Structure 1
Amino acid sequence: MKLHAIIVNLFFLLGYTYSSSNFVDTNINYIDSVIKNIKHFNETSIPNVSSDSSIADTIGYKLEIDSAEVIIKKNLKLLNLSSPINYEYNPYVLESINRYLVKDKNLIPKMLSLSEHYFPIFEQQLDRFQLPLELKYLAIVESSLNPNSVSKSGASGLWQFIYSTGKEYGLNVTSYIDERKDPLKSTIAACEYFTYLFEIFDDWNLVLAAYNGGPGYVKRAMIKYDVDNYWDLRKHLRKETQGYVPTFFAISYLMNFHKEYNISKIDINLNFADNDTISFQRQVPFYLLKDRFCIDEEIIYYLNPSLKKGLALPNDPIFLPNDVIFDIVRNEKYFYEYLERVNKKEILVNEKRQIYVVVKGDCLSTIARNHNLKVKDIMDWNKLDTDRLAILDELILYIPINNE
């Protein structure tokens, strides 16, 4: 009889939860205690009542789900109160949150670590442009905070700018540099683009949809279906854009409430805080920095993802660890003397000097191609003013060691 009384009481509570979410918030502990009592009676008092056990287990599972959803609703309300972005709870958002808690559960720990480096850059610029700071989470949706990320359509960098949009917002792309991958410059461009989109839509959810699908596409859909709310428009959009805003909400949610799910950052073995910028008077290859100051080239590439050819360009700031910058400044005079001697080939670094004897059929282009060199370099090294060669001519070549 006690078991049946408890179950009746529990059904009453369950029915009440659907009419009052506040009731669930204040009485969830009591409901949990009722479940424990049911399990206790199943295990000890009435071991043979299989139907009662099945009912109790079903109710317990239902309450566990309801409890999780109540927590998500409550936390989204807190997030909504602190942001101009309208964080709304609905089944699409719930599905996205659960996906990152189960299927894609390894993403958030890594993002928590990388965000310590990138989020201060994002927040400073978002604040300068008077934009919602929560837009920083969009870079996780776009690139998983990987500045070298490139999409199938050619979009590149933390904020995934395509070439034309990047150029429109001042991001330089050349053979030597791709500023779409520059964390600071690309963030400034993203802020300018956010500002432009908000002037069009005056609604942050529609801005997010337009960032993914394009402002023209979203605007045409709004006119065609006569709606001005993202959630009403959502079913009329492409599948990717349908999932874009719920994914953004899910990332925002878990980056803020990760501790409630026992999610913590992982060690990525990079101390981003201990670096600064320095510029050089002339072009400096990364391998020379490695040779003179014992810094791993991978670290230089990671700190400077916009540099494409392994070269620090003249008078263009480059990020390096503080201890390396200290050594460079302290030995600046000697470093430039060393650099000059390397350029004159008085010192060879990562290359060897070779005398090549011209044979029948040779031309500068084939010699350069066979040794992975440039025709211009061969002409400079040998002070040639013409590309004409004679059999048995001797050419000085400087062959990179990794070409062998």
Structure 2
Amino acid sequence: MGPEQIEDAIEVLDARTESQRPLVSELGEGAAGQAPDDLFERIRAGFSLTDVDQAAVQYEVDWFARHPAYLDRTFKRGERYLHHIVTEIEARGMPSELALLPVVESAFNPVAYSRARASGLWQFIPATGLRYGLKQNWYYDGRRDVLAATTAALDYLEALAKMFEGDWLLAVAAYNTGEANVARAIKRNLAAGKPTDFFHLQLPRETRAYVPKLLAMRRIVADPAAHGLAFSSIANQPYFVKVEVGGQIDLQVAAELAELSKEELLALNPAFNHWVTDPEGPHHLLVPVDRHDRFVRGIAALPPGERVRVVYHRVRAGDTLGAIANRYGVTVAALRAGNKLHGTLIHPGQDLLVTAAPGARTGGGAAPAAAIHAAALAAESSPRAGGKGGRHIVQPGDTLWSIARRHGVNMDHLARSNGLPTHGTLSVGQVISIPGTTRMAALSAGGETRSTTYVVRRGDNLSRIADQFRIRLSDLMNWNSLHSDSIIMPGQRLVMYIDERRRAGI
């Protein structure tokens, strides 16, 4: 599972809620009246930014007013997250308008991903996310963590407001374009004897529209009826609660324990890149408030051997679906269904989800989770025949030196490839990438690699995409089983393994 599958889940949830009462509609279409405990009223009460008479703001107001369906979808998504965001903002004494910033950033899509590689509700790029403590690895991307990313975003905004002497419009502009760009624009205006407020600065086009969009949302939420809109209430109460789960857990298992759809669980916990949580944490999950008690009871009663039901198999040269299915005790049909494969074609370097969930049956029943996990450890921890590469799952007693020796690679190279200190401590269950795989060999030595999915846009071609992400065209084609004559279509998803150092131009 990756962000694209979580995005599919969000789309499923969007479709399910289309028939529900509208949160935002055109005035006169029967939206419910405001309730005293309405979260929108709470947001309005905390407004502290000054409305400004600027054409750029009115332009954005007019756009939002013409698209009530867009606002409705956005706030239905945001209904899950808004109470937490507002509570955190109030605790810091920040303007409550900032609770509307995810409307501008991501339309409250927790897996939104931009061309600049920004991700999550608050659209952190990798470097800024790391600067504010958002861990990013194979299992987990903190930029998509509802709690961690909200804390990081508010920390960043507070720091920017302090930098720009309490001017929140400049802080918001800097959140979009970077503090250095805003500082340089201010310096240019000072040198020219011009005002240094946001609307007099020469900033990138996106930023010149970004702040007006936030002010437009403020104006619309402040008085929807003035713009021909009606807002139904959002309950002014927590939507979710955090539950400590005590270690790594399969997300499908968690959904079943909470008696919750997997789409809803993923919408609240979008930071996990695969169907299992990070063995090194965080060891908590968010669940709707009304599922708290049953989930806590279920976690307490869950046998340790049933916590993890899925593993991933890295396809190697010579692998077939039949051979992989036999190795893990599941059926080919289950492998195809779990990985959305339309045929039997697989390629080296591809990750296949192997599940012990009902439906992955052999003989009289589902393959036990413990058996699948043991098979995964044996398969993933053994060196590849005929060369280096693959993944190693850390077992008791393992060190970087012993892993490097076992796989015949340089220890320093192994450490750099995984972003680890050479004398660091490893955790049992931790996944170590072994340099030499298609993925690793395609990237510069010592770089930190990130798996990402790119959605093809109109006008894209393979060469342009490769140039944009600073990867080799041949690698892009190999990763996606394409050739020079392949045609890509808008909406098609391409997988890429990006060296962050190369992407940043280092």
Q: 1:283-341 CA deviation, whole Å, 9 max, x = no partner?
A: 22122334566432111111101111122345611012455443343344542156179
Cα gap change, 1:352/1:241 in structure 2, threshold over 3 Å: closer, same or farther? Answer: same
Number of residue pairs the alignment of both structures matches: 293
CA contact (8 A) 1:108 1:254 kept: no
Whether 2:139 is the aligned partner of 1:176: answer: yes
For residue 303 of structure 2, the aligned residue among 336, 345, 359 is: 336
Q: Report the counterpart of residue 58 of structure 2 in structure 1.
A: 94
Residue 287 in 1 paired to residue 268 in 2? no
Letter in 1 for 2:177: G
Say whether residues 1:120 and 2:83 are aligned partners: yes
- The answer as to 2:177 corresponding to 1:208 is no
- With normalisation by structure 1, the TM-score equals 0.61
SS of the residue corresponding to residue 164 of structure 1 reads: helix
Deviation at 1:170? Answer: 0.9
Q: Which residue, out of 195, 213, 229, partners 1:247?
A: 213
- Paired AA for residue 98 in structure 1: D
Residue 127 of structure 1 and its aligned partner are, at CA, apart by 2.3
**1:48-67 correspondence runs (5 A):** none
* Structure 1 position 151, deviation (Å): 0.8
Aligned pair partner of 1:150 in 107, 113, 132: 113
SS at match of 1:289: helix
Q: Normalization by structure 2: what TM-score?
A: 0.50
Structure 1 regions of 5+ residues with no counterpart? Answer: 1-78, 356-365, 390-404
Offset at 1:83?
A: 4.2
In 2, the alpha carbon distance for the partners of 1:95 and 1:324 equals 43
The percent of aligned pairs where both chains have the same amino acid is 23
- Which runs of structure 2 are paired with 1:236-315 in the superposition (5 Å)? 236-264=202-230, 273=238, 275-290=240-255, 294-313=259-278
- Structure showing greater radius of gyration is 1
Task: Answer whether contact 1:301 1:310 (CA < 8 A) is retained.
Answer: no
* Residues 216/155 of structure 1: CA separation in 2 closer, same or farther (3 Å cut): same
The structural deviation recorded for 1:172 is 0.9
How far did 1:383 drift?
12
Label 1:173 to 1:89 Cα distance change in 2 as closer, same or farther (>3 A): same
Distance in 2 separating the partners of 1:80 and 1:289: 36
Checking the alignment, whether the CA contact within 8 Å between 1:147 and 1:158 is kept in structure 2 is yes
Which amino acid in structure 2 is aligned with residue 250 of structure 1? A
Q: Aligned in 2, Cα 1:271/1:298: closer, same or farther, shift over 3 Å?
A: farther
CA RMSD between the two structures: 4.1
Deviation at 1:176, TM superposition (A): 0.9
Question: Aligned AA for 1:219?
Answer: A
Are the structure 2 counterparts of residues 231 and 81 from structure 1 closer, same or farther at C-alpha, using a change threshold of 3 Å?
Answer: farther
Structure 1 counterpart of 2:358: none
> Is 1:225 aligned with 2:189?
yes
Match of 1:317 among 240, 265, 284: 284
| In structure 2, distance between residues paired with 1:132 and 1:118 | 17
Instruction: Give the partner amino acid of 1:287.
Output: Q
Q: Which runs of 5+ in 2 are unaligned?
A: 1-42, 311-324, 333-345, 355-371, 387-506
Distance of 1:387 and 1:260 partners within structure 2:
67
1:86-145 CA distance string (max 9 Å, x none): 32112222222112112x332222344344332222222222322212111212111111
Give the whole-Å Cα distance in 1 for the aligned partners of 2:289 and 2:262. 15
**Cα separation, partners in 2 of 1:245 and 1:325, compared to 1, 3 Å:** closer
